[in-house]
Structure 1
Amino acid sequence: MQLVSLQFVSRGVNGWESRPLRFGERTTSLFARNGSGKTPLIQAIGFCLGFSTTFREDIREHCSSIVLTFSHGDSLIEARRELTSSECHITTRAGDVAREFFSEGEFSTALFQTLGMSPPLLVSTQRVATRPYISTVLPIFYVKQDGGYLDPYSAPSSFIQDQFVEMIRFVFGLAPKRSYSAQKDLLDAKDELIALQRRIVNQQKAVADLSERVDDSPVVIDLLNSRSQLIGSQLAELRESMNSEDVASNALRDLVIAKEQKLRVARREFYELSTRIASIDSIRAEIEGEIQTLSFNEQSRRAFEAFGEICSRPDCGLFLSSSDSYGKNLMYLKDQIKDLEANTARAEVQLEVLEHRIQEDEAERQLIVSKMEAIPKVTSTDNLIVAVQELTKELLDIEQKRAAAEVLAGERRKYVQLDSDRGKLQDKIELLNNNVRGEIEFQRLRAGLRSSLVRWMDILQTLNVSREIEIDFAFRFTFGTEPLSIFTGSTRSRLVLAIHAALFEAYLQDQNRPFRFLILDTPKQHELDGADLTNYLTELHTVCNKYGGQLIVSSTEYRHAIGPLDAEWLPSYPGAKQPMYLGKPGTHFFPTLPTQ
């Protein structure tokens, strides 16, 4: 996007116009005294591009519109903005195609599309979706006379969260810091995490409840499998054996031995669990004693209003001298009591389950023994039936335990999967929270700007400012330990100019980026030495020559050198006290340099 020409259109024969002012290919210099109308010309550039600008009432009365012509690629585009009201009314013409726009947003969307830019969906300060306007982008390339030399980004309004860095990222073709869709994804991910946490808690409880009733340890599973195989072989032997009485007796005897072994293991577990509960009760009694002692110390401390009369030593430990310490210690001990109570409750449930299991196994053992003692009194067929019944019952019991163990294993796998899903979701949230930090191109931009900024500070002779520069993720500049806001006067202006130059130079290096101009509206000459400003503008000329940029600068006291690729705009209409840039149609004269 190259600026071609600018013209104010008169409101009738008694209105004010400007001659067609053509921009230089490299530099356009406005040189005139104060009050000759330089600032309205500079403001008109942004105004025709949708920038919010308030002109003086006399300009609105005498001028009907302003026309800015610019080129992009092979297209020549004319943008005419009316001065008839405060409403936005812009008409564009490219060849035979004309379009009208009645809002800045509508015009911005069309212009971005013409320039091949895709505005991202961002988060507004009201936390709703919004998109950038031309007026939010221009402050990177337009340094206003009022306020523009105090901060590197001075926009007419700020309605986007982190607006400066978002516009930097937009014009440099980087992903946004706070994409609205990414923010929505973040909120959705957080809601999903909350729901997943609930599922994990419920799953954890289900696993804990099953674990109290089911033992799925590898040792127990191996024992169940081997026992199942043994019973299966015994049943097969009963079906095939001719001497069913001996086989049945042996099978019943094996069942009794197996039951007795189970009883021994269960009773040992019962004893160990009972001992653990007793130990927990003992520890709880000791903690309750500590709580009583702690309470007594606090009561004793409060009983003595003048504690110094008893012991004036600062390291005296007779009483606790801090109510805060008392409260913290008491809370810690009570938390320990709660943990012990929870452990006791779980152990008592397990003890109850064990006791019930021991009673059942003991009853089954007694039943098998009674049947074995009755074998001489019954027939071999009866013996066979009894043995098959008991073996089948034992086999069913084993299969139920194996099935329960498999259910528990499945619940554990569900818990592990949910926990894995939680980790992935937390990683996603971390990525969405810090999506800027992982972008290599953004880091490269900041690193390049740091070194370039040092060079521009040196060109402007910016003294007494650290060259240890940090640019954070919100694009805030820190020099050593001092933020930009701490500087004033000439130093502040030099730093802002250096930042704009470093950004402009970095931006121009990609020939596909559309904004190819930098506008400097009356740099503060009373705060900048003429030689420093000359060096600065000369170096900007070199940058423009190298990368194809345009520089527009207005000045009252400093006249910049003009070359073949440059243009100088001088006031060319008669005024009451001095030549003016705007005047009555037909009164234009050939301009001369103002006398100082």
Structure 2
Amino acid sequence: MMKGVMAALGHELELPPAIRMHCRAAEIALELEGRRLIVTRDLAEEYRLTVDEEGSSTTYSNAKDYANWFMGLLTESAPSLTNKQKQEAILYPSIVFPAFWVDQDHGWTQDYWTPPNKNFLLDQRQEVIRFLIGLPPRHPFRARTAFEEAKAALEKTEKSIELQRFVINRLERDERFVQGETPRLEQRKAQIEQNLEDSRVVLELIRSTTNVFDRELSALEAQLATLDARDGALGKRREQLSLVFSELEGEEEILTANVQATDLLRQFCGREDCLMFQHSDRSFGRSLLFLKDQIKDMRRTDGQLSREMATVAEEKRLVQAKISAKRAERAAAVEGSPQASISRQLSSLTNELVEVELKLAKLRQLATEQERFNRLLDRREQEVIAVTAARPHGIRGVGALSDARRLLSDSVQQWLTTLGTKNFNGAHFDDDLNLFVDGERFSITTHQSGSTRTRIVLAFHAAILEVALARGGNHPGWLLFDAPKQHELDQADFDAYTQRLQMVASRYPGKLQIVFSAADLKTQFEAGDEVWAPAFAVGGGLRFLGPTA
């Protein structure tokens, strides 16, 4: 099941043949920063993942495109890194997953493991940790332009912060919010809704009183709508007629001028029976008479339209008067009913409910804007570090790295103590973010074994998560532990570990999700925790997977 979760997320790993034979796909639902996503991995295809979000669907058929999308969920500016061939490379999910997923094959033997064919970045382990905790890369590609790009990104974020601060200040000023007002408003909303629900019978009685009026009002409003449509159609016809009328009057003026010009020209003949302009005279005269007849007809039509529009206007006035009178009758009937006083109370409650819901919506908007503001502040912190690290002629990010090393060292020490680790003389991280335990770099060949090695691995992953959250890094907030029985701890130590994880989660609400695969678990769970137990009876035992029918 744990491998299925990671496969659905896009991890490159081998699934059992039976799973590939009987399962069509692995599917997982994600929620990140309010975004709800469904990722489906087609197990029959070599590489095919489909992402569904709010009705839209995108399919990725290669690892690079999917990597760009997935890393975009964790950061707005994924780093451009350098591979072992000194070429440009990106972070793929498969090399980031081992930093927060512990598989049962290799994960419990060392703090970060990837197969040789997946270890292609320069200082890959360090680059992954740097990315998760918000440090700039150790080997950025094209470092010569990194400083300018980092400065431009920082300036853009500074502008976004100022804009976001203005939005929040305006909301707070316009709405005049009271600290801790949301619970009171939620309680009042629930109370009003309950009062309205309790008064449902009264509302039904009021509706029965007004049904006749409502039907008559509906018919009158439909009649008024028909008259409005007719009035609009007549108005359009009159506008068209006016346009044609203007054109005809223009033609009439031209023809009149032509006739007058013909009369003047005829005087050149000096004879009354001159036939020189006879053809033009007849043509202009006939056209002028025809136009005058047309204009006369148009004026008659215009008069008819004016009278029709006046009639429609009068009919509309009468219908509107009837609607006003009917509404007054309806109001009087409601006012005169035994439920009148209750109706006024319900109306007041309904208005108050609208106001309360509007205020809650504004409070939710303010919370969203403040969360966006906090994310911008976290991003600015990372970008300030990036600018410092990329600045030419200086020591790259020494202060930020030193601070991160100190936080990681303190955190892993505390986690090892929480887990009841015995016989160890301290742990710390060096400049390359390697973990040292008892003065020796922790690896698959060091002397720790059994539950001590398990405790170190648990402490390492918890420390990376805790420091990433404290620094506003790019960690998704997930820890997934595939822990078979032979790797389980004493129950008291495991409970201490989970209790401290709960404390971290309380400091960063909505940011953490921890998943354990364990047998014979006796932990006392709290509100919000979930246990997923096997539900399929197969071969005499319970299994997580089974036939669909």
- With structure 1 as the length reference, what TM-score do the two structures score? 0.47
Aligned length: 302
The one-letter code matched in structure 1 to 2:127 is: E
TM-superposed CA distance for 1:56, in Å, is 0.7
Task: Please name the residue that 1:181 is paired with.
Answer: 142
Instruction: Please tell me whether residue 477 in structure 1 is matched to residue 477 in structure 2.
Output: no
Q: 2 CA distance for matches of 1:580 and 1:556?
A: 13
Task: Please name the residue that 1:556 is paired with.
Answer: 519
Q: 2 CA distance for matches of 1:54 and 1:106?
A: 21
The one-letter code matched in structure 2 to 1:77 is: L
Q: 1 CA distance for matches of 2:101 and 2:393?
A: 32
Q: 2 CA distance for matches of 1:510 and 1:465?
A: 28
TM-superposed CA distance for 1:511, in Å, is 6.1
Overall identity of the aligned pairs, in %? 27
2:29 counterpart SS class: strand
Decide whether aligned partners of structure 1 residues 161 and 523 sit closer, same or farther in structure 2, where only a CA change above 3 A counts: farther
Q: 1 CA distance for matches of 2:480 and 2:121?
A: 23
The one-letter code matched in structure 2 to 1:137 is: V
Task: Please name the residue that 2:66 is paired with.
Answer: 107
The one-letter code matched in structure 2 to 1:562 is: F
1:71 counterpart SS class: strand
Q: Is the 8 A contact 2:465 2:475 kept in 1?
A: no
Q: 2 CA distance for matches of 1:110 and 1:525?
A: 37
Task: Please name the residue that 2:418 is paired with.
Answer: 459
> Among residues 568, 573, 579, which one is paired with 2:542 in the alignment?
579
TM-superposed CA distance for 1:462, in Å, is 1.4
Instruction: Please tell me whether residue 516 in structure 1 is matched to residue 474 in structure 2.
Output: no
TM-superposed CA distance for 1:513, in Å, is 4.2
The one-letter code matched in structure 2 to 1:501 is: A
1:180 counterpart SS class: coil
- Cα-to-partner distance string for 1:428-464 (whole Å, 9 max, x where unaligned): xx9879854x432221111011111111111112111
Instruction: Please tell me whether residue 44 in structure 1 is matched to residue 7 in structure 2.
Output: no
Q: 1 CA distance for matches of 2:393 and 2:17?
A: 48
Q: Which runs of 5+ in 1 are unaligned?
A: 1-40, 186-429, 587-596
Task: Please name the residue that 1:147 is paired with.
Answer: 106
2:537 counterpart SS class: coil
Task: Please name the residue that 2:193 is paired with.
Answer: none
TM-superposed CA distance for 1:510, in Å, is 5.2
TM-superposed CA distance for 1:145, in Å, is 1.1
Paired residues for 1:272-351 under 5 Å: none
Paired residues for 1:295-444 under 5 Å: 436=396, 438-444=397-403
Q: Is the 8 A contact 1:145 1:521 kept in 2?
A: yes
Q: 2 CA distance for matches of 1:175 and 1:117?
A: 14
Decide whether aligned partners of structure 1 residues 479 and 179 sit closer, same or farther in structure 2, where only a CA change above 3 A counts: same
Q: 1 CA distance for matches of 2:393 and 2:455?
A: 35
The one-letter code matched in structure 2 to 1:166 is: E
Q: Is the 8 A contact 1:112 1:119 kept in 2?
A: yes
The one-letter code matched in structure 2 to 1:474 is: D
Q: 1 CA distance for matches of 2:432 and 2:487?
A: 32
Q: Is the 8 A contact 1:141 1:518 kept in 2?
A: yes
The one-letter code matched in structure 2 to 1:491 is: T
**Which protein has the bigger helix share?**
2
TM-superposed CA distance for 1:79, in Å, is 0.5
TM-superposed CA distance for 1:557, in Å, is 2.9
Q: 2 CA distance for matches of 1:100 and 1:481?
A: 48
Q: Is the 8 A contact 2:71 2:91 kept in 1?
A: no
Decide whether aligned partners of structure 1 residues 116 and 551 sit closer, same or farther in structure 2, where only a CA change above 3 A counts: same
Q: Which runs of 5+ in 2 are unaligned?
A: 147-389
Q: 1 CA distance for matches of 2:476 and 2:440?
A: 31
TM-superposed CA distance for 1:514, in Å, is 5.5
TM-superposed CA distance for 1:45, in Å, is 2.1
Instruction: Select the structure of larger CA radius of gyration.
Output: 1
TM-superposed CA distance for 1:139, in Å, is 1.3
1:553 counterpart SS class: strand
The one-letter code matched in structure 2 to 1:500 is: H
The one-letter code matched in structure 1 to 2:10 is: G
Task: Please name the residue that 1:488 is paired with.
Answer: 448
The one-letter code matched in structure 2 to 1:478 is: F
Q: Is the 8 A contact 1:121 1:129 kept in 2?
A: yes
Q: Is the 8 A contact 1:457 1:495 kept in 2?
A: yes
Decide whether aligned partners of structure 1 residues 131 and 45 sit closer, same or farther in structure 2, where only a CA change above 3 A counts: same
Q: Is the 8 A contact 2:413 2:428 kept in 1?
A: no
Q: Between the two structures, name the one with larger relative contact order (CA 8 Å, sep ≥ 6).
A: 1
Q: Is the 8 A contact 2:133 2:475 kept in 1?
A: no
1:551 counterpart SS class: strand
- With structure 2 as the length reference, what TM-score do the two structures score? 0.51
> Among residues 136, 155, 158, which one is paired with 2:119 in the alignment?
158
- Cα-to-partner distance string for 1:529-552 (whole Å, 9 max, x where unaligned): 222122112211222232131110
Task: Please name the residue that 2:48 is paired with.
Answer: 89
Q: 2 CA distance for matches of 1:453 and 1:173?
A: 18
Q: 2 CA distance for matches of 1:513 and 1:536?
A: 23
